[in-house]
Protein backbone atom coordinates (compact mmCIF):
# COMPACT_ATOMS: atom_id res chain seq x y z
CA UNK A 1 0.00 0.00 0.00
CA UNK A 2 1.36 3.38 -0.95
CA UNK A 3 1.20 6.04 1.73
CA UNK A 4 2.44 9.07 -0.16
CA UNK A 5 -0.73 11.18 -0.08
CA UNK A 6 -0.12 14.80 -0.97
CA UNK A 7 -2.84 17.16 0.18
CA UNK A 8 -4.54 18.46 3.25
CA UNK A 9 -6.22 16.38 5.91
CA UNK A 10 -9.32 18.53 5.44
CA UNK A 11 -9.69 17.22 1.91
CA UNK A 12 -8.81 13.61 2.73
CA UNK A 13 -10.89 12.84 5.78
CA UNK A 14 -13.54 15.43 6.44
CA UNK A 15 -16.85 16.66 5.20
CA UNK A 16 -15.08 18.22 2.19
CA UNK A 17 -16.21 15.27 0.07
CA UNK A 18 -19.82 15.72 1.13
CA UNK A 19 -19.96 19.46 0.49
CA UNK A 20 -18.06 19.18 -2.79
CA UNK A 21 -19.92 16.12 -4.05
CA UNK A 22 -19.50 15.23 -7.69
CA UNK A 23 -23.28 15.11 -7.95
CA UNK A 24 -23.40 18.89 -7.52
CA UNK A 25 -21.53 19.68 -10.75
CA UNK A 26 -23.37 20.66 -13.92
CA UNK A 27 -22.91 18.78 -17.18
CA UNK A 28 -20.61 20.12 -19.86
CA UNK A 29 -21.70 20.34 -23.47
CA UNK A 30 -20.91 17.33 -25.67
CA UNK A 31 -18.19 19.36 -27.44
CA UNK A 32 -16.53 20.30 -24.14
CA UNK A 33 -16.68 16.69 -22.94
CA UNK A 34 -15.23 15.43 -26.23
CA UNK A 35 -12.40 17.97 -25.96
CA UNK A 36 -11.60 16.85 -22.39
CA UNK A 37 -11.67 13.18 -23.43
CA UNK A 38 -9.36 13.95 -26.35
CA UNK A 39 -6.98 15.75 -23.99
CA UNK A 40 -6.91 12.68 -21.73
CA UNK A 41 -6.42 10.30 -24.69
CA UNK A 42 -3.48 12.35 -25.93
CA UNK A 43 -1.93 12.65 -22.46
CA UNK A 44 -2.57 9.04 -21.33
CA UNK A 45 0.76 7.44 -22.42
CA UNK A 46 2.84 10.26 -20.93
CA UNK A 47 0.71 10.30 -17.79
CA UNK A 48 1.20 6.56 -17.28
CA UNK A 49 4.93 6.95 -17.81
CA UNK A 50 5.09 9.78 -15.25
CA UNK A 51 2.98 7.63 -12.89
CA UNK A 52 5.48 4.78 -13.29
CA UNK A 53 8.35 7.10 -12.42
CA UNK A 54 6.53 8.28 -9.32
CA UNK A 55 4.70 5.19 -8.03
CA UNK A 56 5.86 2.19 -10.06
CA UNK A 57 4.36 0.59 -13.13
CA UNK A 58 0.78 1.46 -14.05
CA UNK A 59 -1.35 -1.48 -12.85
CA UNK A 60 -2.52 -4.16 -15.26
CA UNK A 61 -5.29 -6.74 -15.41
CA UNK A 62 -4.33 -10.44 -15.13
CA UNK A 63 -4.57 -10.61 -18.94
CA UNK A 64 -1.99 -7.80 -19.26
CA UNK A 65 -4.47 -5.07 -20.21
CA UNK A 66 -3.65 -1.73 -18.57
CA UNK A 67 -6.07 -0.44 -15.95
CA UNK A 68 -8.31 2.38 -17.06
CA UNK A 69 -7.77 5.86 -15.65
CA UNK A 70 -10.73 6.80 -13.48
CA UNK A 71 -11.39 10.52 -13.18
CA UNK A 72 -12.68 11.21 -9.68
CA UNK A 73 -14.43 14.34 -10.95
CA UNK A 74 -15.51 12.90 -14.26
CA UNK A 75 -14.88 14.56 -17.60
CA UNK A 76 -18.58 14.91 -18.38
CA UNK A 77 -18.93 17.21 -15.36
CA UNK A 78 -15.81 19.33 -15.72
CA UNK A 79 -13.09 17.16 -14.20
CA UNK A 80 -9.54 18.03 -15.19
CA UNK A 81 -8.48 15.28 -17.61
CA UNK A 82 -4.78 15.35 -16.67
CA UNK A 83 -4.69 16.40 -13.01
CA UNK A 84 -2.74 14.01 -10.74
CA UNK A 85 -5.31 14.49 -8.00
CA UNK A 86 -8.16 13.52 -10.31
CA UNK A 87 -6.97 10.21 -11.80
CA UNK A 88 -6.86 6.78 -10.17
CA UNK A 89 -6.12 3.52 -12.00
CA UNK A 90 -9.08 1.09 -11.91
CA UNK A 91 -9.66 -2.32 -13.48
CA UNK A 92 -12.23 -2.19 -16.27
CA UNK A 93 -14.99 -4.09 -14.42
CA UNK A 94 -14.77 -1.86 -11.34
CA UNK A 95 -14.47 1.25 -13.48
CA UNK A 96 -17.67 0.31 -15.31
CA UNK A 97 -19.44 -0.28 -12.00
CA UNK A 98 -18.20 3.06 -10.70
CA UNK A 99 -19.49 4.79 -13.84
CA UNK A 100 -22.94 3.31 -13.19
CA UNK A 101 -22.84 4.58 -9.59
CA UNK A 102 -21.89 8.07 -10.76
CA UNK A 103 -24.90 8.04 -13.09
CA UNK A 104 -27.17 7.09 -10.16
CA UNK A 105 -25.70 9.92 -8.13
CA UNK A 106 -26.25 12.50 -10.90
CA UNK A 107 -29.78 11.19 -11.48
CA UNK A 108 -30.46 11.77 -7.78
CA UNK A 109 -31.51 8.14 -7.34
CA UNK A 110 -31.24 5.99 -4.19
CA UNK A 111 -29.04 5.31 -2.33
CA UNK A 112 -27.66 8.79 -3.04
CA UNK A 113 -30.84 10.45 -1.81
CA UNK A 114 -30.65 8.83 1.64
CA UNK A 115 -28.84 9.91 4.77
CA UNK A 116 -25.52 8.08 5.08
CA UNK A 117 -23.57 6.69 8.01
CA UNK A 118 -22.56 8.86 10.96
CA UNK A 119 -18.83 8.51 10.24
CA UNK A 120 -18.52 8.14 6.46
CA UNK A 121 -14.74 7.85 6.47
CA UNK A 122 -14.54 5.47 9.41
CA UNK A 123 -17.24 2.85 8.96
- What are the sequence ranges of the domains in the chain? 27-106
Alpha helix segments (H runs only) across the chain: 9-12, 16-19, 30-55, 92-106
Region 93-113: mean pLDDT is: 79
Whole-number pLDDT of residue 82: 94
User: Over the stretch 15-31, which tens digit does the pLDDT of each residue have?
Assistant: 444 444 556 678 889 99
| Per-residue model confidence as pLDDT tens digits over 61-88 | 999 999 999 988 888 888 899 998 889 9
Is there a cis peptide before residue 85, judged by omega within 30 degrees of 0?
no
Looking at residues 48-67, what average pLDDT do you find? Answer: 94
Helix (H) or strand (E) holding 70: strand 68-71
pTM higher than 0.75 for the full model? Answer: no
pLDDT at 92: 92
Amino acid sequence: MKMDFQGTVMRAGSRFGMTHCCCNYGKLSPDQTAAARSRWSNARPGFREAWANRFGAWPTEPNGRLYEGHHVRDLWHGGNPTDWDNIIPFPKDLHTELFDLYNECYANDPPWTQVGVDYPYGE
